[in-house]
Structure 1
């Protein structure tokens, strides 16, 4: 089974060009599924049927896993079986006609413009690390890019004269996103006064560096945003994705069209972007309730 998983991941890497995090998710889900089958004495995938898949999903549910986790695991298992059938490793696909658990779409946490201002003003720009943190936070809010895309940026991906960045999203798809004047100013200050102080010996193409002079990691950025969330005394849970959600919501609230926001966020399907229209509607209700004398 492990060898088949390895072949499947190789196929996803070469043929589909999926992102590293997505590949790791598939691998983790499938190793857990196959370990379950082996405990149930199923060592041949050709002998499995829909009852084993349903049993595994029930097993996950009993462990208290969220509906979204169950749905993701089923998607991984279904894609695996489809690959095995296509490559003639199995005779039939037992995942056919299995319905995914219904996921309740939660509205993302969004900051107000004032809350964003407070968060972005947290870094001490007298320090090289403060200049870096300010530039990263401004860039996230200015572009709505994912944290993985932020820390993957190289110096060559930023064009401050033209006012845009180039990033590679899911499936290694390239997109160009415009930068606002404040983000341009803060990234410029970081490049002039912050990055040279963080850079150690040797060449480093990464835009954002840690205190060792190497590329900042996702985990490193998570610690940074948590630090400034505490400084902001926000009653909301602020994660690295919060600024992405706020970017999209504030654009739509101020008249941006859904297709443009979809392109900037790098969503393959516009239905993913449409959740932000629900956010703006709910915020309109809040404003109405507070402002209308007879609400």
Structure 2
């Protein structure tokens, strides 16, 4: 098994390609027909995964590396190379993924494998389109199935439960140094998770320059979501107050300036010296804050940052916000994802519809 290496950008890949012109066919199209397994994996990551110079979070890169290592381990266990992959190997790996991993993990790893095979076909590494033989497990998006794989369990909180946990975010501080600043930061994190329904990766990527006012003077925030897709979300009154209070306590400017690229959330355990770049809060640090708040609240220990996103979507739909509006606010790729929440809400309301019916 060889080490995984990933080009940091397509520019780096193109520079490399200029020195390896044997990778181009007569029409100057990329052809990996004669490359090694190591080269193929490197090129797959460079232009099959890290395409369009997109910025991936460390969490996403880690997941891609994990999926690649899973495939490499499987091949090594069966003494196979990439070129040995054919119909029997695709079906065997497919079955192994479904039998070994939970549906959501199996789905992600098989999607990685599908893209791997498709890239191989498009670059002449494979002579046939082997990806057509992959069969992915069916899962409910956004939630998890019970231990028997039957009815979907909702990974969300009631509004009351969510507020109790949010109130504990400011208590999730274990140091006295810079305590007021850390308490203010954690409180804002909780409110943004609940009132915006943003993903953890979206939250930690926010900059002070992400905020702006619209023509009516209302505060908005521009969020960079999955696949580099941008969406604009409204900041409600209480959350806006907590935002500006956080900036004041940290001695940061409260003037709205779209050109400011400093991170909204950063590590403030140590004194921040003027002129020194602020270290953006990591996902691990955010996860730890959420878990500590959940522990203090005595809530379900399984609660993670993403639970607040599910809670946000459900809360809006329960208050009859139009489905299409909720889809846009949540940044769902397809309205069918948002509709899963609505179907569950309607099921819960069945008895309400029939409470005045008499037979």
TM-score when normalising by structure 1: 0.85
When Rg is computed on C-alpha atoms for both structures, the one with the higher figure is 2
Q: Conserved in 1, the CA contact under 8 Å of 2:169 and 2:289?
A: no
1:100 to 120, 131, 136: 136
1:180 deviation in Å? 0.8
Question: Which moves more between the two structures, 221-230 or 274-283?
Answer: 274-283
| Partner in structure 2 of residue 206 of structure 1 | 263
Q: Conserved in 1, the CA contact under 8 Å of 2:220 and 2:235?
A: yes
Structure 2: tracts of 5 or more residues without a match:
1-36, 145-152, 172-178, 253-259, 273-278
Answering whether residue 165 of structure 2 is matched by residue 116 of structure 1, we say no
1:44 deviation in Å? 4.2
Question: Which moves more between the two structures, 142-151 or 35-44?
Answer: 35-44
| Partner in structure 2 of residue 29 of structure 1 | 67
Answering whether residue 204 of structure 2 is matched by residue 144 of structure 1, we say no
Q: Which has the higher contact order (CA 8 A, sep 6+)?
A: 1
How many residue pairs align between the two structures?
284
Q: Conserved in 2, the CA contact under 8 Å of 1:37 and 1:52?
A: no
Structure 1 residues 195 and 7: CA distance shift in structure 2, 3 A: farther
Superimposed CA distance per residue, residues 269-295 of structure 1 (whole angstroms, 9 cap, x where no aligned partner): 12222221133234435x859x99x9x
Q: Conserved in 1, the CA contact under 8 Å of 2:291 and 2:303?
A: yes
Structure 1 residues 131 and 18: CA distance shift in structure 2, 3 A: closer
1:18 deviation in Å? 6.9
Structure 1: tracts of 5 or more residues without a match:
197-202
SS at match of 1:277: helix
Q: Point out the structure with the larger helix share.
A: 1
- CA distance in structure 2 between the partners assigned to 1:104 and 1:245 by the alignment: 13
TM-score when normalising by structure 2: 0.71
Q: Conserved in 2, the CA contact under 8 Å of 1:132 and 1:195?
A: no
- CA distance in structure 2 between the partners assigned to 1:129 and 1:195 by the alignment: 13
1:45-60 aligned within 5 A: 45=83, 47-60=84-97
Q: Conserved in 2, the CA contact under 8 Å of 1:78 and 1:95?
A: yes
- CA distance in structure 1 between the partners assigned to 2:106 and 2:340 by the alignment: 21
SS at match of 1:241: helix
2:293 to 208, 212, 228: 228
